[in-house]
Amino acid sequence: MVRVSLTDFPARAARGTGHARRHPLRGLADFPVRAATGTGHPRRHPLRGLAIRSTAARPQPALWPPPGGPASGSPLPRAIVVLLGAAAAVVVLAGLRAVAWLAGPVFLALVVVITLDPVRTWLRGRGLPRWLTVTALVVVVYTALFAVFGVVVVSLAQLSALLPRYTGRLNDLVHGGPQQVRELLSSVDAGKLIGLAGSLLAGVGSLVTNLAFLLALLLFLSTESAWTGQRLDLIARDRPWITASLRRFAAGSRTYLGVTTVFGGLVAALDTAALALLGVPGAVLWGLLAFVTNYVPNIGFVIGVAPPALIALLDGGWRSLLVVLAVYAVLNFVVQSLIQPRFVAGSVGLSTLVTVLALVFWTWLFGPLGAVLAVPATLLVKALLVDVDPRAQWADALLSAPRR
């Protein structure tokens, strides 16, 4: 009997004195060398190719748009997609117009809180407790709202107090004015005027109701603003582009209202000085009214010029009316319609044409409140539909102001 040890096995196999039993895994490492030299055909290992098969089965990142597919990545034709999008937009706009009494005040309260929220942030940075910063924000918001509302109410009250003094002058203008004016005034229906007055009184009543609702909204939104940063941080963990778009909307709204406030103060000071020099009664009041109406883009001076022009007509005649209109045309039109839109376009990233179209659209949708919220509402729509989607950069190029 011949004894064979394991140490002798490689040598005997190399000398050819015996046939060693082939290990299942032997030759796997030197397979490429043997195959390249052609000295033999290695036996294919059962585990060979497992890595190749696993690599081939690994899902590859999806390409956008899909190769060979439509540019939009949708199986539907582009015309169908456009029609469906237009139909959905019509449904949404119809719903917003139906609930304009709710959507308008809610968005107004949101814009006011966003604009004044830096006050709370500044106080919080000074180390004050959260409840105190929220209380300070509520006080500032209520003060600003009551100031604007008080200016409007006092302006209407002052106008109603001044008109009875000029009743005789108004009759003289009706009966002794130019022929065209007499024909125009004679064609006015007194019944329609009474109905218009009743509708205005009803509007004042609804305004008081909306004011109470607005105050409640401002209170709750001011309270919730203390945790807005935490909520945005949570959204940013999953979808940071949405957080960036919302922050851009908030910054744009603050910038727009800040620029509008600065130009409104400038216009109010110029109008007050001009009306005082012309001797028009209530010059300070009409200056404050011009400041408030400046928040209506592009055409706010038309609303602000009506009361002082009427008083100038009744107090000094047609010549005073023409002088007041000329002064407002030079000051307000140049500042509000030519200079201010350029600064607004550069600060919020909207072109002047888009601003004008937004004014018409949001006034149609939300009523008079939409004229004040036209630019912030456009910024919100842009943030939700354009800024969050990289494929919508073509729309951003059409909406944005050109770089100078």
Whether residue 55 is contained in a domain is answered as no
* CB-based contact 133:226 (threshold 8 Å): yes
Whether residue 140 is contained in a domain is answered as yes
Q: What type of residue sits at position 130? A: R
Percent of the chain residues past pLDDT 70, beyond the cut: 67
Dump the DSSP string for 112-166: HHHHHHHHHHHHHHTT--HHHHHHHHHHHHHHHHHHHHHHHHHHHHHHHHHGGGG
- What band does 29 get if pLDDT is binned at 50, 70 and 90? very low
Whether residue 17 is contained in a domain is answered as no
* Whole-number pLDDT of residue 293: 83
Rounded Cα distance, 221 and 114, in Å: 9
* Closest by Cα among 369, 341, 330, 373 to 152: 369
Tens-digit pLDDT profile for residues 374-404 = 989 999 999 888 888 878 778 888 887 666 5
* Whole-number pLDDT of residue 57: 46
* pLDDT at 250 > cutoff 60: yes
* Whole-number pLDDT of residue 225: 84
Rounded Cα distance, 154 and 287, in Å: 12
Whether residue 2 is contained in a domain is answered as no
Whether residue 246 is contained in a domain is answered as yes
Rounded Cα distance, 379 and 386, in Å: 10
* Whole-number pLDDT of residue 380: 92
- What band does 361 get if pLDDT is binned at 50, 70 and 90? very high
- What band does 37 get if pLDDT is binned at 50, 70 and 90? very low
* Whole-number pLDDT of residue 390: 78
* pLDDT at 348 > cutoff 60: yes
Percent of the chain residues past pLDDT 90, beyond the cut: 7
* pLDDT at 257 > cutoff 70: yes
Whether residue 186 is contained in a domain is answered as yes
* Whole-number pLDDT of residue 279: 87
Looking at the structure of the chain, the number of domains it has is 1
- Mean pLDDT value across residues 311-330: 85
Lowest mean pLDDT among 20-24, 174-178, 337-341: 20-24
Under 8 Å CB-to-CB from 382, ≥6 apart: which residues?
249, 350, 396, 399
* Whole-number pLDDT of residue 92: 92
Tokens of 116: 């004044």
Whether residue 71 is contained in a domain is answered as no
- Mean pLDDT value across residues 320-325: 88
- What band does 13 get if pLDDT is binned at 50, 70 and 90? very low
Q: What is the mean pLDDT of the chain?
A: 74
- Mean pLDDT value across residues 213-229: 85
Whether residue 72 is contained in a domain is answered as no
Lowest mean pLDDT among 19-33, 72-86, 109-123, 296-310: 19-33
Rounded Cα distance, 234 and 392, in Å: 25
Tens-digit pLDDT profile for residues 52-66 = 444 444 444 444 444
Where does residue 15 rank: exposed (0-12), middle (13-18), buried (19+ CB within 10 A)?
A: exposed
Domain membership of residue 127 as a residue range: 102-399
User: Counting runs of H as helices and runs of E as strands, what totals does the chain give?
Assistant: 19, 0
- Mean pLDDT value across residues 74-91: 85
Lowest mean pLDDT among 31-35, 210-214, 250-254, 281-285: 31-35
Residue, of 342 and 269, whose pLDDT is higher: 269
Lowest mean pLDDT among 50-59, 118-127, 237-246, 321-330: 50-59
Which stretch, 8-12, 203-207, 213-217, has highest mean pLDDT?
A: 213-217
Rounded Cα distance, 24 and 33, in Å: 18
Tens-digit pLDDT profile for residues 96-135 = 999 988 888 889 889 989 988 888 888 888 888 888 888 8
Rounded Cα distance, 182 and 172, in Å: 10
Tens-digit pLDDT profile for residues 168-205 = 666 666 555 555 555 655 555 544 544 544 454 455 45
* Whole-number pLDDT of residue 55: 47
pTM for this structure?
0.69
- Mean pLDDT value across residues 317-342: 80
* Residue found under tokens 């109701």: 209
- Mean pLDDT value across residues 347-372: 85
* Whole-number pLDDT of residue 48: 52
* CB-based contact 316:279 (threshold 8 Å): yes
